[in-house]
Amino acid sequence: MVVDRKKSALWIAVGVVAALAAVLVVVLVSRDEDPPPPGTRAELAPLALSDRVWTADGVTLSLNRGSIALRDGRLLARTEEGIELLDVGSGKALWAQADQADLPGRTVALDLSASPRLPLLVGNGVLVGYNVFQCDLVEPGVALLSGDTGDVVWQTPTTPAEGCAQNRVGWKQELWAADDTTALVTVTPNDGSPADLAQVRVVALDVATGQRKWEHQGAWPYATAGGVALLSTTKPLPAGRFTGSGTVTALDLATGQPTWSVDDAHLVRTAGDFVVIVTTDKTVRVLDAATGREVARLPDADPESCVADTTLVACQAGTRLVTFRLNDKAVKTAPLDTGTTLLSVVEGRVSVENPRRNPPIVTMDRTGHVVDEKPPGELIAMTDDLLLVRVTRSEDDDFLAAYRLKA
């Protein structure tokens, strides 16, 4: 009887231990299956890249601030000689046009000085400014070049012709912005002051025909977004120098009529159908470009640091990363290493550089998580199957490279 009691106690003890073990297993499994708290996991996965597909030496890249444009499988780039249109898939040049050389079949020449940023990709063509560098009585203007051949589709004079010597010192035209419907060009006295707004005339051209649609005086065009032309009473370039007060105004692209304006503000950049501005109290605001309605404020953001694409705006606020995601209108902040500089945003991925790191460039998501420790360079653009990066060999030597994205 004693033996039976001892056996019963032993079996009871074994059963208790087994039950506790089972509970522990259930708890451990449950912990593994529970999702982590919000913000503890990167939003993006690292990019899986194959070997380099092609490189393009001699293409001028300037910190992704408008030295290349990508659209529909074609890449427009500034080169040492002029401009070049490349096939993105192969990196091969479709055509090239030298600066100050006559446009195909014309007696007017490409004038890159008339494009403060870069000639503009629109539809299946490239908008350029042209001039005469001979002693001809020709009116400088804007031309649309065919994306297939580089030939002139149309040319429209914007600036009075004044003869050979006077032509260079009389009037100046600048091609600032365009979408597929409208191009914005300024015509100003060549010896005038950018602050003298009475001398600034904005000419809106129909991209399909080159015909004038409307004109506006008293502001500088900056960009197009959301069906409006975004103008400022302070000249956009050099970018990032926000001194004094200004007024940001939106004009309907079709009619040139004002739709909204913000006083004591400067334009920073556009992001999809949104525009980022900074007010003179140093507040960085994101507005709906079509209506001017504020959709977000970026706390303590430095406007000169802001970069953007059509999905995300990213700025620095000291040692903080401040991001605004356009699709859900969500603002997030995250810590940054001291000495970090924002370079670019491509498809929601933020390229940052810190000289104290090795390698210095990494890719983050909008929450500050590093998703690519060793990207091949600064992210410039992405297609469905390619990543384009800026690779730096030295301070004044870099090149454009394309890498295949693995499925």
Tens digit of pLDDT for each residue in 41-82?
778 999 999 989 999 877 766 544 446 788 889 999 888 889
Query: What are the tens digits of pLDDT across the range 226-250?
Result: 999 999 998 876 545 666 778 999 9
**Considering Cα of 279, then 283, then 286, then 292, what sign does the dihedral take?**
negative
Task: Specify the 3-state DSSP secondary structure of 197.
Answer: helix
The whole-model pTM stands at 0.84
Radius of gyration of the chain (CA): 28
CA nearest to 308, candidates 349, 345, 268: 345
- Above 80 in pLDDT, residue 217? yes
Q: What is the dihedral of CA 378, 382, 387, 391, to 10 degrees?
A: -30
Tell me the average pLDDT of the chain: 84
Question: For position 34, what pLDDT does the model report?
Answer: 38
Which stretches of 219-335 are DSSP H helices? none
pLDDT of 331 > 50? The answer is yes
Segment 290-313 shows an average pLDDT of: 95
| 56 SS3 class | strand
pLDDT reported for residue 35: 41
Q: CB under 8 Å to 381, separation ≥6 — which residues? A: 68, 70, 75, 346, 388
pLDDT of residue 17: 41
d(CA 210, CA 205) in angstroms, rounded, equals: 5
Report the C-alpha gap between 98 and 82 in whole angstroms: 4
Q: Is 301 exposed, middle or buried (0-12, 13-18, 19+ CB in 10 A)?
A: buried
- Could you give the CA distance from residue 83 to residue 77 in angstroms, rounded to a whole number? 6
Q: What are 61's two structure tokens? A: 């890249």
Classified as helix, coil or strand, 164 is helix
More confident residue, 343 or 241: 343
